[in-house]
Structure 1
Amino acid sequence: MSTQAPVRRRSGRAAVPVALLLLGAVCLWGSSRMTWVGVTSSDGLGEARSTDLLGSTWAPASTPLALALLAAVAASFAVKGWASRVLAVLVGLVAIGAGVPATQALAGDVDEAKAAVLAELPGRAEVLTAQAFALPAVLALIGAGCAFGAAVMLVRKPTARKVLSSRYDAPAARRDAVAQRAKSASERAEENVDGEDLTERMLWDALDAGEDPTDRSGTRKSED
């Protein structure tokens, strides 16, 4: 098996949380530019007034949270070990902060007093209706879900010690196996078991292990 295959798999796994962070940031930013709540009000002096409240107004944290996810993309390349866990916790908090207002909007929980303040209605005005729109809230929830998924993967990111261990343990095991085969090949050459000659593969394995398969000067094993 080519040594490039494990490298490609590790690169693919490292790219997943980055992709989730980017997707989450895009969803939150797009949601912040959409109308979350439509307010209809009347001041008793004229016709009813309609006001659209964008996500950046109704859920003002959505834009900073999107920027925080973008910053987490850069941080994910720089941190390892316990710092990666801290980053995962912060990303998880971003996911919660983005998901709470979206869930409230989907549940139809619209505070008319809050809507009146954000719409900057005059004191004599009365809110007739305050309707939440589902699409931007769903988009924000998707962004929150992506952020949470990235947080989970960052928690599971291997530490530097584990990466080094996995990198060097396998070659060491292979060298041990080759050395064992070389020793067996050398003994077989000395004893000429069943008249079987050394194969080309066995010769190369022995040379790779630092053994001389043609050296028959070693002491033969004593038979019981």
Structure 2
Amino acid sequence: MTEQTPDRDPSAAPARGRASAAAVPVVLLAVAALCLWASSRLTWVSVESFDGLGGARTSELIGGAWAAATTPLALTLVAAIAASFAVRGWALRVVGLLVALVAIAAIVPAATLLIGGVDDDKAGRLAELPDRAEVTATEAFAGPAILVLLGGVTALIAAAALIRKAGASAGLSSKYATPAARRAAAGNHAATPEEPLSERMLWDALDAGEDPTAGDVAGPNGGDEPGSTGGTDTRR
């Protein structure tokens, strides 16, 4: 006996491809949100100060204090994950643009710290030093800022993936539409020499109670049926 190989569903491969494409922006958004949230819990700046009375004081400013928007931006990226499943078309493009804006908003303070260094006035204000205290030294930690840059770049890639996904979903053929939508489209579609009805459209039209062949056959005299003579029946 020969073992028969089960037939493979021809629609399985495209379905897996669409699922993989849909998972890419979700994974990217999750990674970006994790990077931003983790950075918000790490120390960005260390501030040393002296008030003239006691000893020197050292204050550590975490990302949630130095770049206060980091945590809300991370939560926004999490919300974008849910939105990517709920919307399609132009709405998904809007989500992609918002994600890009979030990425830029996260990148700016990190890049400013790495390039321009620590602003002593800002450091003293965020450390809530008394008026008589003076900032004597500051130190910036590059790791958390680089983590934000990584998350921001990842979010930008996710934004591009969402916009691309919106364009791809808008261009899907009718074979991925719901059965009711396909039947309605087939019922309103007439075959032409340039665009003949496919086998699937024929079955959908029949399901919709329409005759898919009506009006697509012309006789030699331009009538609706072969042998037509302009509506005059010469048969006896």
> What is the TM-score of this pair, normalised by structure 1?
0.72
**Structure 1 173/31 Cα, relative in aligned 2: closer, same or farther at 3 Å?**
farther
Which amino acid in 1 is paired with 2:111?
Answer: T
Q: What is the deviation of 1:67?
A: 0.3
**Structure 1 59/159 Cα, relative in aligned 2: closer, same or farther at 3 Å?**
same
Summarize deviations over 1:119-154 as a string: whole Å, max 9, x none.
000111111111110110011111111111110111
Q: Percent of pairs identical after alignment?
A: 54
Of the three residues 39, 42, 46, the one matched with 1:38 is 46
Q: What is the deviation of 1:35?
A: 0.2
**Structure 1 51/143 Cα, relative in aligned 2: closer, same or farther at 3 Å?**
same
Name the CA distance, whole Å, in 2 between partners of 1:116 and 1:165. 62
Q: Does 1:4 align with 2:8?
A: no
Q: What is the deviation of 1:3?
A: 2.2
Q: Which residue of 2 aligns with 1:61?
A: 69
**Structure 1 112/167 Cα, relative in aligned 2: closer, same or farther at 3 Å?**
same
Q: Which residue of 2 aligns with 1:163?
A: 172
Name the CA distance, whole Å, in 2 between partners of 1:148 and 1:22. 13
- Over the residues paired in the alignment, what is the CA RMSD in angstroms? 2.1
Name the CA distance, whole Å, in 2 between partners of 1:109 and 1:95. 21
Name the CA distance, whole Å, in 2 between partners of 1:105 and 1:20. 25
Summarize deviations over 1:68-121 as a string: whole Å, max 9, x none.
000000000011111011111110010001001111122242111010010000
Summarize deviations over 1:173-198 as a string: whole Å, max 9, x none.
9958xxxxxxxxxxxxxxxxxxxxxx
Structure 1, 9-18 or 102-111: larger mean CA deviation: 102-111
Q: Which residue of 2 aligns with 1:93?
A: 101
Name the CA distance, whole Å, in 2 between partners of 1:159 and 1:4. 18
Residues 181-200 of structure 1 correspond to what in structure 2 (within 5 A)?
Answer: none
Q: Does 1:49 align with 2:57?
A: yes
Count how many residue pairs are aligned between Structure 1 and Structure 2.
Answer: 173
Uncovered stretches (5+) of structure 1, i.e. residues with no partner: 177-224
Q: Match of 2:137, SS?
A: strand
Residues 89-168 of structure 1 correspond to what in structure 2 (within 5 A)?
Answer: 89-157=97-165, 158=167, 160-165=169-174, 167=176
**Structure 1 140/173 Cα, relative in aligned 2: closer, same or farther at 3 Å?**
farther
Q: What is the deviation of 1:160?
A: 4.3
Uncovered stretches (5+) of structure 2, i.e. residues with no partner: 1-7, 178-194, 200-236
More helix by share: 1
Q: Does 1:71 align with 2:108?
A: no
Q: Match of 1:110, SS?
A: coil
Q: Match of 1:163, SS?
A: coil
